[in-house]
Amino acid sequence: MKLQDRVCLITGGGHGLGRDFALAFAREGAHLAICGTNEQALASTAAELRAGGHRVLSLIADVSDEKAVAHLVEATLAEFGHIDVLVNNAGIAGPTAKVTEVKREDWERTLAINLTGAFLCAQAVLPHMAARRQGKIINISSVAGHKGYAMRAPYAASKWGLIGLSQTLAVEWGSHNIQVNTISPGPVRGERIESVIRNRAEQMNLSIAEVTRQYTTPLALGRFVEPEHVAATAVFLASSESDSITGETIKVSSGYGLS
C-alpha cells in the first residue's frame, strides 16, 4: 500500500474533502490524526475509520488558534511518535458579497482559518519533519487561487496565499527532504458547492440553475469534480511516488478555464 504505516495529520478531517482524504489515506495503510471543530462529524468519521480496522486519533482543534495547533501536534506525536504527512485542508467558504460589503471580522476569520491556520500547522510540524529529514505537506487551495473571484474576495485571497506559502516552504525546507505541494480543486460535488451556489443565487437574485451554469460552463468536462479524484491526488502527493515533486500546484478541476 502506498502509505503503509505513515502518520498523516489531516485538518478539517471530519467532513467534506477532509473525510475523503482520511478514508483514502486509510485504505492505503496510513495511521491518521484528524481534527476539526465539528465534534459530531469528527466522531462519525473516526468511528467509520476504526470500524475498518484503522488507527485514528480524533481531536477538536481550531487551526487559527496557535495553542490549539501546538496541542494537536503534541498529541499526534505522543500517539504515533512522528508525523510523515500534513494535509492543510481546514477551511471555510467565507462571505459572499462585494468587497465594500464584506465585514472586516468575516475577512479576518476567513484568512485566519484558511491561510494562517495552514501557516501555524506547518510551523508546528516542520521541526519534527526536519529532524527526521523527511516529510510532506499538502496545502488545499482552489482554482479561486488562480484568478479573480467576484463576490468571494476573502476566500480567493486566502487560496492565492496558500500557493505562495507552499512555494516558499518548498524552497526553505527542500534541503531537509521535505516536499510541499498544493492541490487546487475546481468546484467539487457535495454540500460545500451547493451552499456556495445558494448564497450566490440569493446575493445576485438569480436562480439556482443559472448560478450552477456559471460554475459548470467554464469546465471542459462540463461537470463538477468528484471528491475521490481530489483524494487520489492527495494520496499520490503523500506517497513516495512524489518524492521529486515540490513547490508545485496540481489542479483537479474538470478542466476549469479551458472551455
Total length of the chain: 259
pTM: 0.95
| Among 158, 151, 182, CA closest to 245 | 182
What integer is the mean pLDDT of 28-52? 97
- Strands of the sheet containing 7-11, edge to edge, are 56-60, 31-36, 7-11, 85-88, 135-140, 178-185, 249-252
What integer is the mean pLDDT of 126-131? 98
Are 231 and 16 in contact by the 8 Å Cβ rule? The answer is no
pLDDT tens digits, one per residue of 162-171: 999 999 999 9
Confidence of residue 3 (pLDDT cuts 50, 70, 90): very high
pLDDT tens digits, one per residue of 134-188: 999 999 999 999 999 999 999 999 999 999 999 999 999 999 999 999 999 999 9
pLDDT tens digits, one per residue of 208-248: 999 999 999 999 999 999 999 999 999 999 999 999 999 99
| Among 10, 233, 237, CA closest to 121 | 10
pLDDT tens digits, one per residue of 66-107: 999 999 999 999 999 999 999 999 999 999 999 999 999 999
* CA distance linking residue 112 with residue 21, whole number of Å: 22
Active site residue 155: yes
Confidence of residue 259 (pLDDT cuts 50, 70, 90): confident
Q: And the C-alpha cell for 171?
A: 524552497
* CA distance linking residue 125 with residue 35, whole number of Å: 15
Average pLDDT value for the chain: 96
Would you say the C-alpha torsion 211, 212, 218, 224 has a positive or negative sign? positive
What integer is the mean pLDDT of 9-17? 96
Catalytic residue among 149, 155, 215, 256: 155
* CA distance linking residue 193 with residue 152, whole number of Å: 13
* CA distance linking residue 258 with residue 144, whole number of Å: 15
**Domains of the chain from N-terminus onward:** 7-186+227-251 (3.40.50.720), 188-224 (no CATH)
